[in-house]
A and B are shown apart, each in its own frame.
Chain A
Amino acid sequence: MGGVDRLEATRALVELLTHELVVAALGNPAYDLFLAGDRDENFYMWGAMGLAGSVGLGLALALPGRRVVVLDGDGAVLMNLNALATIGSLRPANLVHVVWDNGSYDLTGGQPTAAARGVRLAAVARACGYDPVEEVEDLAAFRACMKRALADRRGPWFVWVRTLPTRPREVPLEALRRRWVQLEPFMDRAQGRGAEGPLQGQIR
């Protein structure tokens, strides 16, 4: 059985990004995004487990011309499975929902999630109306999939990624703390303000 190192995959994703907005779920998805490449276009959740997809939906509705990527985890998605039904049925075409699935609550000691007991989140997403839905288990496939998802005008995309158990790494919590509460840089980039001026034609 394959599997992707989440931090490596997040680095591969960050390399592909230009102006896309990224919402990362609390805990490991946010830590890895910060480590892979902090940028003004990143929004790091601090709490509200299970609501990263909903924040992404709000952003996608507010900015229909902008591609929005959500980085989520299996435990978080399972906590608010209903959000998949809302997103899938409303079909925001500019949303790309990535779910790292290692089948465990890594941050609390590795207890297995329902995904480890056989719940297939990609099948749930497909049933909720996400389209396309992709399932990837290695880094090359993930990179290729994200390249297509970022360039696409269809959506909402659901990208299910089998990930390996989290490797120990230093998480710069103090630096992240500032990013959790200073939302203006993200809002400026999202709303096309700031040094680079208004953004146009963000969907390539």
Chain B
Amino acid sequence: MSTQPLRPGAAGPAPSGAQRPWQRLLLEALQASGCRFVAYVPDSVWKVFLEEAAGWPSVRLVPLCREEEGIGVLAGLFLGGQRGVLVTQASGVGNCLNALGSLAIAQRIPVVMLVTERGGLGETIPSHLPFDGRLARVLEAMGIACYPVQETGQLGRVVQGAFQLAYTCRTVACVLVSPWVTGPGA
């Protein structure tokens, strides 16, 4: 992972998409999607992204105590004419299920979640298994579609597509970011 500061324009001419840090690609995709608020509960995988987002001029961080609050915050932002995203690890989506069902789905409020996946090949912590790797199936049972990102080069398009889908069709979209993109969590 690059140790370069990820400021807009700081790195000069952009190298090809696949070589650029995924955190920057994501911030650019959020900006292009009109997303100005990042509500989050941290994950080690999100550490650098959150640090860079704090310095990104078009983004305001909204630190939460529990992921479920993020569904409410995103609903309020939407009602007020703004777009936000919920950034969390997969287990955190487990804390959101009732809010997704009884607020976002029931009242047709758009929600985009950016979720780091764990619990696949090479996982060493059993507590990550119930949600991670199986999250897509849990959400599918609720009628929520997941969009996996396996390669860094796909990240921007998937995120922008998720925003377009969620905010025009007033639905929930979950972007699952694979460890193949982010590197392993701690």
Contacts and interface: CB of A to CB of B under 8 A. Distances in A.
B76 A48 contact: no
B76 A62 contact: yes
B82 to A, nearest CB: 4
Nearest to A85: B65
A89 B69 CA distance: 14
A86 B69 contact: yes
Interface string B69-99: 1111111111111101000000000000011
A80 interface: yes
A90 interface: yes
A71 interface: no
Contacts of A191: 80-81
Given A48-B102, A51-B68, A83-B72, A183 B77 contact: no
A103 to B, nearest CB: 24
Given A53-B72, A61-B73, A80-B66, A48 B79 contact: no
B150 interface: no
Given A86-B64, A191-B81, A47 B76 contact: no
Interface string A61-99: 111001000000000000010110110011000000000
Interface stretch (B10-18, B103-111, B154-162, B178-186): B103-111
Interface of A: 23, 43, 45-63, 66, 80, 82-83, 85-86, 89-90, 180-181, 183, 186-187, 190-191
Given A47-B98, A54-B71, A61-B37, 18 more contacts: A43-B79, A45-B103, A48-B71, A48-B98, A51-B68, A51-B69, A51-B75, A53-B72, A55-B72, A57-B76, A58-B72, A59-B77, A59-B80, A62-B76, A83-B66, A85-B65, A180-B107, A181-B108
